[in-house]
Structures are given as C-alpha cells and as structure tokens.
Structure 1
C-alpha cells in the first residue's frame, strides 16, 4: 500500500516570500550605501561587495530549517 500524499505546508510559500523579502531589503540597503562605497578605492569596493554578496545568506539557514521542520533550531543528529 502506498501512503496518500501529504498536503503541502503553508510554511513553504511563506518562507519563499520571506526569502524574497530578505533579498529585497538587503539589496536596498547595499544600493543605498553605494554612493559612499563608490568613493572608495576599487579594491575596497570589491571586498565590500564580496562580503555583502555572501553575508545575506546567514539569516537563510534558520529560515530554511523552519520551512522544513517548523522550528528555527536544527533537529538533533541521529
């Protein structure tokens, strides 16, 4: 016997919208600082944009865990 498919969780679309919101807010923050960043040396700009391009990923881990489990903490390893 096969199990009937489980209905999709409401957390997935809400989580997707939250991810898009985080990306939008982070992009607005970085663009608003671009006037100041643009006045810096090109290597400093590269480092700032590199770090800014990576750091937005940090809040996504707990959000992705919540989407899958319903809790912001990672489940214990078996």
Structure 2
C-alpha cells in the first residue's frame, strides 16, 4: 500500500479514535466521578488524556512503515 494512502487512512483512523475515546472518557467521568473531588478529576483526566496516545502511536507507526516491494 502506498505511503500516501496509508497516511490518508491513518488520519481518519486517528480522528475517529480521538472522537470515540473522548466521548468514552467523558461518559466514564460523568458516570463514576460525578461527586468526586477536583483532585480525582484532575488525576483521571491527566491519566485518560495520555492514554489515547498508545493506540495513536501504533497507527502512526503503521502509517510510517515503508511499502513492501
């Protein structure tokens, strides 16, 4: 698969990942952390804010691999 096509597909995959992940993380926070302190919210959103990077790194790595000949 050409690198340009991989980057095009990967861009939409990352956008979809971020959108779904943000909705999921916010739903969990509003359901389970509604009455928690501000420090708990801060810790949760710091952790969940960095957690989406792991699947995004996999997608970026896939996007950057050279095509097989």
Asked if these proteins are the same fold (TM beyond 0.5), I'd say yes
**4+ long deviations beyond 4 Å:** none
Gaps of 5+ in 1: 1-6, 72-78
Greater share of helix:
2
Higher relative contact order (CA 8 A, sep 6+): 2
TM-score (structure 2 length as normaliser): 0.81
The superposition leaves residues 25-61 of structure 1 with CA deviations (integer Å, 9 ceiling, x where unpaired) of 1111012123222311111111001101111101111
TM-score (structure 1 length as normaliser): 0.72
CA RMSD of aligned residues (A): 2.0
Gaps of 5+ in 2: none
Q: Give the greater-gyration-radius structure (CA).
A: 1
